């Protein structure tokens, strides 16, 4: 195997916590007197909690003091934590357990690169905390995606050159961050939304061991869409 590494986003890649974020943000919006839709929630994917609140307030045309913002951020996080506290291994997305097992067997290092400040708690509930070689989350970075900081820190900790890192993402901001870092970007989701990714997959079921082998054994290549191709 080549000297490569994988870096995984959390939400929408390892597990789907987006639904819990949505419910928590929706409750916050409702408490402020306006509705918040699933379509609007797409704007928050891959974005930090602070930035997400700013987007939400803009949607509702609401202005708050910093003290009020801090309170609502705390309230939102408490509601979100109440949801994820009930998570278990059954919520790990299809294809992920097999892929992680393969990487461990082949001694291919892998990291988590997530904007979430609750990443370690979620991984602990999923019994995956000890599987990752390193975890870089919202507590470790000063800038959010699309800034590549989170992925560059992960690469440095793994001791792997950015060009040899393969990033699995489900958010446009994450794809941008991976590309800015000079890494190979694999996007999970709608290719019309996740433009610019080196590879596009419909869902995590397509993150097969066979695909991982091909990614490991080839250099960064021009963009191609796996939703319309059966082979790389």
Which residues belong to the active site?
Answer: 9, 11
Which residue, 126, 110, 108, 109, is CA-closest to 118? 126
Which residues are CB-neighbours of 78 under 8 A, at least 6 positions away? Answer: none
- Asked if 84 and 73 touch (Cβ cutoff 8 Å), the reply is no
Q: Can you tell me the distance from the alpha carbon of 154 to that of 158, in angstroms, rounded to the nearest whole number?
A: 6
What backbone torsions phi and psi does residue 168 show, to the nearest 5 degrees?
A: -105, 120
Give 173-185 as a DSSP string: HHHHHHHHTT-EE
Q: Can you tell me the distance from the alpha carbon of 13 to that of 6, in angstroms, rounded to the nearest whole number?
A: 12
Retrieve residue 204's tokens: 């995590």
CB neighbours (10 Å) of residue 33? 8
| Conformational region of residue 189, where left means phi above 0, alpha means psi within -120 to 50, and beta covers everything else | left
């Amino acid at each position: 195997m080549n000297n490569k590494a994988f870096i995984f986003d959390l939400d929408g890649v390892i597990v789907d916590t987006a639904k819990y974020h949505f419910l928590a943000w929706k409750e916050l919006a409702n408490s402020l007197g306006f509705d918040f839709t699933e379509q609007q929630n797409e704007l928050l994917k891959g974005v930090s909690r602070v930035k997400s609140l700013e987007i939400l307030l803009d949607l509702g045309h609401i202005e708050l003091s910093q003290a009020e913002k801090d309170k609502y951020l705390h309230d939102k996080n408490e509601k979100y934590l109440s949801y994820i506290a009930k998570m278990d291994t059954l919520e790990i997305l299809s294809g992920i357990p097999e892929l992680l097992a393969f990487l461990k067997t082949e001694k291919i290092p892998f990291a988590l690169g997530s904007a979430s400040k609750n990443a370690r708690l979620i991984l602990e509930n999923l019994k995956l905390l000890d599987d990752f070689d390193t975890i870089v989350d919202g507590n470790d970075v000063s800038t959010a995606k699309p800034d590549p900081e989170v992925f560059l820190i992960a690469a440095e900790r793994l001791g792997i050159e950015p060009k040899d890192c393969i990033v699995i993402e489900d958010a446009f901001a994450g794809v941008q961050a991976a590309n800015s870092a000079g890494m190979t970007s694999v996007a999970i989701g709608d290719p019309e939304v996740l433009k610019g990714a080196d590879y596009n997959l419909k869902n995590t079921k397509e993150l097969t061991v066979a695909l991982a082998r091909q990614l490991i054994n080839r250099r960064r290549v021009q963009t191609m869409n796996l939703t319309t191709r059966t082979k790389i």
